[in-house]
Structure 1
């Protein structure tokens, strides 16, 4: 179900800075978030010091166990959803039942990071209002923003009527397989909800906060070419052909020339060619052998595919298959394309949610948040629920260096993001899903 927020609201907010003043409960929210700043930083430090790489199942669960008391103290019921069937640790869901008929809200974050136990990047180092640590921005800071916002709502009395499900996945950085199992519970929550809010990092553009109303998909492709082998002196000759590497080069160059369009990218991650060449069992490496005087029998390549809509995904995939089907003499080729993370396509409902947030920005004395270009954001879990519900992403804190040693967070950004989120949820809680 989609909550019916007038699409014209967004345009109205952008057109006029005039807005109602903060209510007394909303003023209490602002003060509460500010007062709990050091408490939030302490929680962030505690969970950042727990290694929770996607494949460190014990660590992911330990982060969840550290968060359970935080949610239960706010009146949420919690559930650990085991994901051993998908090869991952599991997900933490927290649920709050509010007034019947009020807006049903799904808050999305994740417990895992890209830093596995063997990573040399560890610890938590704070210097003033900046801190460095693995996953501190992506997405442990986002999880803290969720809790900070909910705690402020509780203190202000606006949480009571709110119907909320918090979904913290344990494998966002490397989703389990089969994906139908790994994302089943999240999708069911999206089908229940009226609104979804994603708490991955805030996007900054030209020094200003922005809103994320669309994100591109994330898929992958595997290309294999094969050819007759033989002495290199016969290459190009009739009955011999061009070899597997030339066929690979033909295809990849045709991708480069023929596929470009707005919001579409298709990277080649790695490749190998020789006699033979093959992709490793991990799907992240390739091996090959060969000689300069032998026509290569095999070439392999893997890459990704990112698009703004599912239609763009499917149309591009059809073009790629057509290019692959045009073989050089003496060669064969095949491509396998897998769509993993779907796109969060732009919608009027998503724009209207950003309009509501900008009304709050006006009340808080903050600048208008423009939509962030979707081509600059990667895929995220909110995309799995995008077909069912209006959504707003990028509601986590700001920082830099995600997925790399030195990942950092602007700690003060947690304050304004929690204030925005708490007021937004408080206002949404008053909106009937039947309106």
Structure 2
């Protein structure tokens, strides 16, 4: 059986150079110009790796796709590697968390979630390429951090045509791989009131901000293990001397199973009235671990054991595009990216000691998956 060795630190210099290029090209989900520059860079990086960048127009989905099939020599359903280029960090975050290497850590916005995973996948594919028996498709999107509203249809279509899906999102804190994910619900909350002069006639007005604030406290207070409700964006009012007529917020809810999802929807519905609405803006479906997912994990676990890498099967509360593919029943394995910490924070960093071994896992898994018959 083929065993591809994990790269040592000296072999990772090109990978770190690529990682720096990606990190220093800031790509917040809400900045179209920055995303366009990031996707252009991604096309260049994929082409430089010798991959065939798909010429189809994917601009509407904000995505780029490439294929490895040794010039058409490899046929059949591809292994789909699914990643995202966008981050939660605004342009300018590099001033707070610049690219740098300190000891065994590399820092930078989006370095772990998930530009490090993209680099890891490309390095794994490079090493696996000569030994592959089926094609590999790479799909990189640019709206994952906002729920994948543009790319979901494309993701699901490509997953249905694939043999299996590998997602190099960050590893769990213990190095574990992800075989299932909780459902993620995004709600748009909207409150209305009655305007009035806040200095002269405040009693004649009804504050939309006050109604929304009461709702936020009530909703977040209903969080329980396996069913969390959290407001992360809020706005309202226009003039400080006016009783605010409108206010709005965005709420993220995480449900561990169908019963918890039903609890969340009931809690949200009970809080609404003539002055407060709650619309389900998007949802990542519950991904329950299936037999195909478990078979993929077993293959990865065997590879990891051969390389001396410790992994475990985990179900995660954080969402990813793996929710979509896993919920479709396409064999999916997530969390294949590097280890690190500081996700979505000002000290986001990647554990360099994990990079080589997990590249080795990806490379060997790509080979091992070839020809697998999934349940």
TM-score (norm 2): 0.82
**Between Structure 1 and Structure 2, whose CA radius of gyration is higher?**
1
- The separation in 2 between residues aligned to 1:254 and 1:38, in whole angstroms, is 51
Partner of 1:263: 226
Indicate the residue corresponding to 2:88 in structure 1.
Answer: 114
**2:67 paired residue number:** 94
Structure-2 residue corresponding to 1:51:
26
Structure 2 matches for 1:121-140, cutoff 5 A? 121=96, 123-140=98-115
Q: Is the deviation greater in 218-227 or in 242-251?
A: 242-251
Q: Is 2:294 aligned against 1:316?
A: no
Query: Is residue 191 of structure 1 aligned with residue 160 of structure 2?
Result: yes
Deviation of 1:140 (Å): 1.8
Q: Does 1:215 align with 2:181?
A: yes
- Aligned-pair CA distance for 1:36: 3.0
Equivalenced residues, count: 366
Answer yes or no: is 1:404 the counterpart of 2:345.
Answer: yes
**Is 1:381 aligned to 2:344, yes or no?**
no
Question: CA 1:153 to 1:58, structure 2 compared with 1: closer, same or farther past 3 Å?
Answer: same
Would you say the 8 A contact 2:66–2:137 is kept in 1?
yes
Structure 1 runs of 4+ with >6 Å offset:
228-232, 240-243
Q: Distance in 2 between matches of 1:302 and 1:51?
A: 24
Q: Does 1:352 align with 2:330?
A: no
Distance 1:95 1:217, change over 3 A: farther
Deviation of 1:265 after TM superposition, in Å, equals: 1.2
Secondary structure of 1:167's counterpart equals strand
Q: 1:343, 1:261 → 2: CA distance?
A: 18
Instruction: Give the superposition deviation at 1:351.
Output: 3.0
C-alpha separation in 2, matches of 1:37 and 1:381: 27
- CA displacement, residues 324-377 of structure 1 (integer Å, 9 cap, x when unaligned): 24xxxxx6432212124334333343233222222222222333x2233523xx
SS in 2 for 1:366: coil
How big is the shift at 1:190? 0.6
Query: What secondary structure does 1:386 align onto?
Result: helix
Q: Which runs of 5+ in 1 are unaligned?
A: 1-22, 279-286, 326-330
| Aligned twin of 2:40 | 62
- Partners in 1 of 2:151 and 2:87 — Cα distance? 16
Contact 2:229 2:251 in 1 (8 A): yes
Match of 1:365? 308
Structure 1 residue aligned with 2:358: 417
- Cα 1:289–1:374 change in 2 (3 A) is same
Instruction: State the partner residue of 2:282.
Output: 339
Listed as ranges, the gaps of 5+ residues in structure 2 are none
Normalization by structure 1: what TM-score? 0.71
Kept in 2, the 8 Å contact 1:308–1:345? The answer is no
C-alpha distance after superposition, 1:274-294 (max 9, x if no partner): xxx55xxxxxxxx46467xx7
